[in-house]
Amino acid sequence: MLEETQKSLAIANAKDDESKKLLNQQQQLQLESMKRVKELEDRLKELPAPKESWWKRIFG
């Protein structure tokens, strides 16, 4: 009985470690994505504004 409990506990700990690892990986990817969005927004601000609205160029 004790051996089975220890095995179950070891499995639970391994799953917990894997969950923490995946959560950390997800948070890292989210942080990188947020940085990338910020970079793109900053680059977009640097571009010159169009002279006409997009709808005026399309529909005249």
Whole-angstrom Cα distance, residue 24 to residue 9? 22
Residues of the chain with pLDDT under 70: 60
Q: How far apart are CA 21 and CA 43, in angstroms?
A: 33
